[in-house]
Structure 1
Amino acid sequence: MLAPIWLRAAYRGVPTFLVTALLLGQSSMALAESPAQRQELVAALRQLDALERTVAGGAAQVPIQPGERYHFDYPQLLADLARVRAGIQAYLTPSRAQPRDLFELAGEYRTERAAPPSLPTTAQGRP
């Protein structure tokens, strides 16, 4: 669903960071994560993979000419895509606080039995 949007935007020369922002903004973000939302975000990660490969290929094919006034900043675009990727991955796999261990384990579980109480040896007088 999102792949044709990427292709049309790339064909028309729309900046990729703008397309990324719009696509991530248009997805229906609910407060509770649903399986459909998770699938959409995973699909967005796959599309980011493809986009990063395309951008890296473009950066390799277009060398910066000395004396050019303007050039496209491919490293900055790759850094922005990495930041978007990190945000999606952080949402999909949130960090959880580690449980605190307040007390150390004793480690000694063997105890000696106390001697059974002995019967009184003195005879009690009877009336």
Structure 2
Amino acid sequence: MAFIDFSDATHPARNDRSVDPSAAVQSFRQNASLTLQERRVIELARNDSLKSLRAPRKRGWFARLILGPQPASSMLANERLEALRRLAVHTWHKGYQLPASALKEAQAAGFSEDEIGAVIDIIGRIRAPFQRIAA
């Protein structure tokens, strides 16, 4: 049986626990295929939860009385940027295990496969390395 060394194939951030995320963000900002506004949307999507992908429900009068006015929606008005935000939120939370609907929605919004792949790869590099469940 032959031995194959896969240590060179892994990203350096996976092997080093003291990763400086600013270096990965810097490489992300140098990506010329995305505009500054699109890169900012991806960075802001890091703080959004998967719950923000659902359509907001209207509060009834009693809920408004108890909880106050309706909170602002996290959805963006620009459809292209909203598709990018949805793709980025899925990628920040699920890594490379994205639903096909997020990819199709980004392609329908006008992003090329190369741009989608670049977004997914860059977010995958910035994300925290896999944490073991049992230490």
TM-score interval, smaller chain: under 0.3
The TM-score, its normalising length taken from structure 1, stands at: 0.26
Bigger radius of gyration among the two = 1
The TM-score, its normalising length taken from structure 2, stands at: 0.25
- Structure of higher RCO (CA pairs closer than 8 Å, 6+ residues apart): 2
